Amino acid sequence: MDMVNQRKKNMGRQKIEIKKVEKDSNKLVTFSKRRQGLFRKASELCVLCDVHAAIIVFSPGDKLYCFGQPDTNVVLNSYIKGTTEFEDSKSAENSPTCKDYNRQYEEAQKMLETEKKKLEDVQNLAKIFNKGDWWNDSIDDMSSDQLEQFMVSIYELRRKLVERADELVMKQSVMP
């Protein structure tokens, strides 16, 4: 304790040169931390300035990471088209992503028509919801069967929501 130069707990942040990190393990750590930071900055920019943005990054392991406000594909479409008409409901409807969603939604609906377990599903769902911090924890804890039933239930709810949305003539396609 007497030494002024007593070794501190760690070295603190060091200045680094901006050049390729050669050591793979360090590179991974740096990528992970800085990618997070980059996305956070982008998020802040979008909120503060009320603008749209998208980021696409491939990790050293070639895994794809992306950020998008309001959505990566929407921003990319705007970029490709060279237009900024984000909220054009017609083009939003026609975006591939929404199409996919709608198609899959219709398929799911078909299946639902032949399902007779709806009531059971609802009951199971209610149980799950009532068990506490379901939003953060339940999904991960669910068994395969539970999950399946839960998904069916969500789809039913979704249909109801879409109906309501139609009634309200909501302008933006918040949901597919």
Partner DNA sequence: GGGCCTATGTATAATAT
Partner DNA sequence: TATATTATACATAGGCC
**Per CB under 7 A, which of residues 28..57 are in contact with DNA?**
28-34, 36-38, 40-41
- The residue within the footprint of a second copy, chosen from 6, 86, 89, 94 (CB under 8 A), is 86
Which residues are CB-neighbours of 102 under 8 A, at least 6 positions away?
176
Contact partner at residue 142 from a second copy, DNA, none, CB < 5 to 8 Å by partner kind = a second copy
Asked if 143 touches DNA (CB under 7 A), the answer is no
Looking at 50-143, list the stretches that DSSP marks H as alpha helix, in order from N- to C-terminal side.
Answer: 72-81, 89-94, 96-114, 118-129, 139-141
Give the rounded distance of the alpha carbon of 31 from its chain centre: 20
Asked if 90 touches a second copy (CB under 8 A), the answer is no
Beta strands per DSSP E along the chain = 53-58, 64-69
Contact partner at residue 13 from DNA, a second copy, none, CB < 5 to 8 Å by partner kind = DNA
CB of 52 to DNA, least distance (A): 16
Q: Which stretch binds DNA (CB under 7 A): 9-17, 84-92, 124-132, 160-168?
A: 9-17
- The answer to whether 91 and 138 are in contact (CB under 8 A) is no
